[in-house]
Amino acid sequence: MAKPMTKTQLVAALADEMGSDKKSAAGALDAIVNIITREVSAGGAVTLPGVGKIYCRERPERMVRNPATGEQIKKEADKVVKMTIAKALKDSVNG
């Protein structure tokens, strides 16, 4: 499996794709990340066309097991960020 692309590599690739400098590409990437974070934190969802949908889901209170002791403990309700991958991306990967 290939190594994941780092932020520096992503900014460089974005700048090359946009025909722009790395500073403006980094600003664009940071702006997108901030918008996604703000929207999902508020309970909304963000769809990235061709990539997928990022959303927040609430999990109910439940019983979990401590793997070290085997003891059952109650875990409070919490929220988890999920992502559904777009069909176009799945198809291009499985191509």
Please state which CATH number belongs to domain 45-95: 4.10.520.10
% of the chain surpassing 90 pLDDT = 97
What pLDDT does 75 receive?
93
Give start-end residues of each CATH 4.10.520.10 domain in the chain: 45-95
What pLDDT does 95 receive?
82
Per-chain mean pLDDT for the chain: 94
What pLDDT does 2 receive?
84
Distance, in Å, from the CA atom of 30 to the CA atom of 38, rounded to the nearest integer, reads 12
Distance, in Å, from the CA atom of 47 to the CA atom of 83, rounded to the nearest integer, reads 9
Once rounded to an integer, what is the mean pLDDT over residues 37-45?
A: 95
